[in-house]
Amino acid sequence: MENSVGIVTTEYAHFDAELRLESGRVLGPLTLAYETYGTLNAARSNAILVAHAWTGNAHAAGYHSTQDRKPGWWDDMIGPGKVLDTDRYYVICSNVIGSCFGSTGPTSENPRTGKPYRLNFPVLMVRDMVRAQQLLVDRLGIDQLHCVIGGSMGAMQALEWGIHFPERTRSIIPIAGAVSNSPMAIALNAMARQAIFNDPLWKKGNYRPEHPPADGLALARAIGHISFLSDTSMQLKFGRRFSVRDGLFDFFGQYEVERYLEYNGRNFVDRFDTNSFLYLAKALDLYDAGWNFDRLEDALKQVICPSLWFAFSSDWLYPPYLTEEAVTILQRLGRPTTYHLIESDYGHDSFLVEAEKFTHYIVDFLAELD
In the chain, the amino acid numbered 195 is: A
Which sequence positions are flagged as catalytic?
A: 152, 315, 348
Rounded to a whole number, what is the distance in angstroms from the first to the last CA of the chain? 28
Query: Any residues with CB less than 8 A from the CB of 166 and at least 6 apart, and which?
Result: 302, 303, 304, 305
Contact between 47 and 92 under an 8 Å Cβ cutoff? The reply is yes
Cis before 111? omega within 30: no
Contact between 211 and 201 under an 8 Å Cβ cutoff? The reply is yes
Sign of the alpha-carbon torsion through 163, 168, 170, 174:
negative
Element (H, E) at 304: none
User: Which of 126, 124, 171, 166 shows the shortest CA–CA distance to 288?
Assistant: 126
SS3 247: coil
Contact between 222 and 265 under an 8 Å Cβ cutoff? The reply is yes
Query: Any residues with CB less than 8 A from the CB of 255 and at least 6 apart, and which?
Result: 238, 240, 241, 242, 243
